[in-house]
A and B are shown apart, each in its own frame.
Chain A
């Protein structure tokens, strides 16, 4: 088999405008061969635009793309040689599974015997060998998904682009396919760029995450970096820091700050210097401990209690009237008064004027 590996894919300030709107603004990123990158963000953040620009389906407005020393941003899609999995799969409805998978090889003028053996091999890899002569409409959603993946990897492209490939599947199948995609990536070592709006998917699959918001990169980092040290309150919100409490700044030292409001004192970590009088404390619901040790004790009244199996998800009100969400194994009832606390290393403090996360992001 031919070796299509490269050592570096470099995106140099690539951007794409639609009329006045900058769908993607100066994205710079260096991807190492074999890496699994997730582009993460809510719909309309520019992640699919970025992917289409990489595939060559959309021309760039600004910037350049380099595959090692070769500039590729002027090439049409058919000359880039990448593989792509579309959100709706885009399987050719008039071709059998085998013909769909063989398409890319055929376009590469691969000898007929080779096409057959490689298609067979990939079909075995994605467990479709029994469906070879079926049409896509005769397959289940999960099988169609596997055809789409097989079709994109059969010619061993240097780069595989995946555009929300699991968003049309039900939750159970999504889990299974996630593992399968990860497996394929490890087995074949194909560099993959994976677009998703599901932070769990991104965190569990990717080597590095790129968080986008309104076309602008917010943070690039490993899952651990993004999860535990979100660069700003927007990323924090997207990563599950559901409590965003707006407080007055009481005192600031390097990497540390104390906030105060309505008799509540919160100590926490800072990543960006606080200059304004107001700041936001980001706290995960699962980091809050009911009747925990000081510091960072907050008096609350339980208002809504959701049953989540072993845990309860509680929406409570602080004395100042702000809502606080937390998870606990304690059986709280509506109207119960209690005291909660948060370890200070779990409180992330961001400047208040930075952008907030969209509201629809749930924990």
Chain B
């Protein structure tokens, strides 16, 4: 078979001369259309892979002149990392960021599920409602932060109303601390989570729930035994995306947070090292640690997801 095919191919094409370039490439499993990927790959190489590798090597070459690691007595290629983990002021930023990012991502996913579940069918004004829920995506962090200060600040409407109605005596501190950043992450992160969950939900055959209801399952049993198990893989992905967004929080941690204290997140630490202390090497190392933490969390979540059913959620199974 293998021996015969080249001669057979040459006989077939003998009449019309050499086959076209497209066919010759296709013979080797190459689709010419794939060449269209080249600009994209170049773009990725130049703007992501190269800077990433550059930053990686930079993080292993501690800055001689004014480098924090060397000034604090750490030596060798791992000096930046040893310094970061040796200094609680740096090290704790990981924890600070996780404490903001994980709950924010979790809340975004958990709040999205019931809302998207209610909205999965067809009903009047669905498009209007979806638009309203998704609008915060377009706001941007600065506008959101502005709004939060106006609304939740010490002299904001909420506190004024609560004090005027004698619900509380002192204004609540809801901005320029942990909660300000948390609210900002929920407001900007929710639309993402909601849209993802909605699309995962609409990928589940509605006949499955109909079948369950005919077989005697009330709404809770339908959700718990049919929809939720099929949705869980999607929720895991949604959580990862929300978490990545929340973990790299930077502007709102500055604008509505407490950037030198309770909301000194890891991106602030990286910024501080690179652009205030001009220790690019330490900044790079901090970024690498930030990436590693994100990947670790994602690996955990996806590993857990792999223990679940991951097949198609269509009716025919």
Interface residues, chain A, CB within 8 Å of chain B?
Answer: 55-57, 76-78, 80-84, 86, 88-94, 103-104, 107-108, 135-137, 139, 144, 151-152, 155, 161
Chain A residues near B216 (CB, 8 Å)?
78, 81, 104, 107-108, 155
If the complex has contacts A103-B215, A135-B311, A137-B312, are A77 and B210 also in contact, measured as CB distance less than 8 A? yes
Chain B count of residues within 8 A CB distance of the other chain: 25
Binary A-proximity of B266-289 (CB < 8 A = 1, otherwise 0): 000000000000000000000000
The smallest beta-carbon distance between A196 and chain B, in angstroms, is 18
Q: Chain A nearest CB: distance from B179 CB in Å?
A: 38
List, sorted by A's number, 17 A–B pairs whose CB atoms are closer than 8 Å: A76-B213, A77-B213, A81-B216, A88-B205, A90-B205, A90-B315, A92-B211, A92-B226, A93-B208, A93-B312, A93-B314, A94-B311, A103-B217, A135-B311, A136-B316, A144-B317, A155-B216
Q: Which residues of A contact B132 (CB under 8 A)?
A: none
CA distance A93 to B315 in the complex (A): 7
A93 and B311 contact, Cβ closer than 8 Å, known pairs A136-B317, A144-B316: yes
Does B77 lie at the interface of the complex (its beta carbon under 8 Å from any beta carbon of A)?
Answer: no
Q: Which residue of A lies closest to B221 (CB)?
A: A107
The residues of A that contact B309 with a CB separation of less than 8 Å are 93-94
Distance in Å from the Cβ of A103 to the closest Cβ of chain B? Answer: 5
What is the CA–CA distance of A77 and B216 in the complex, to the nearest angstrom? 7
Binary interface encoding of chain B residues 125-152 relative to chain A, with 1 for a CB under 8 A from any of its CBs, else 0: 0000000000000000000000000000
Name the B residues within 8 Å of A103 (CB-CB). Answer: 212, 215, 217, 225
> Could you tell me if B214 and A92 are in contact, using CB atoms closer than 8 angstroms?
no
Question: How does the 8 Å CB contact mask read for B302-317 relative to A, with 1 for contact and 0 for none?
Answer: 0000000101111111
Q: Are B210 and A86 closer than 8 Å at their CB atoms?
A: yes
For residue A103, which residue of chain B has the nearest CB? B215
Q: Is B19 an interface residue (CB 8 A)?
A: no
Complex Cα spacing A55 to B213, Å: 9
Question: Does B291 sit at the interface, judged by CB under 8 A?
Answer: no
Chain A residues positioned under 8 Å from B312 (CB to CB): 93, 137
5 closest A-B pairs (Cβ-Cβ)?
A: A136-B317, A107-B216, A94-B309, A93-B317, A104-B215
Establish whether residues A78 and B317, one from each chain, have CB atoms under 8 Å apart when the complex forms: no
* Interchain CB contact under 8 A, A90 and B210: yes
Asked if residues A93 and B214 are in contact (CB atoms below 8 Å), the reply is no
User: Across the interface, do B226 and A91 meet the contact criterion of CB distance under 8 Å?
Assistant: no
B229 within 8 A of A: yes
Name A89's contact: one of B213, B214, B215, B315 (CB within 8 Å): B315
Contact A94 B229 (CB under 8 A): yes
**B214: which of A82, A136, A137 is its contact (CB, 8 Å)?**
A82
Instruction: Please indicate the chain B residues that have their CB under 8 angstroms from the CB of A88 in the complex.
Output: 205, 207, 315-316
How far, in whole Å, are A56 and B215 apart by their CA atoms in the complex? Answer: 12
Residue numbers in B under 8 Å from A107 (CB-CB): 212, 215-217, 221
- Residues of B198-251 at the interface with A, using a CB-CB cut-off of 8 Å, are 205, 207-208, 210-218, 221, 225-226, 229-230
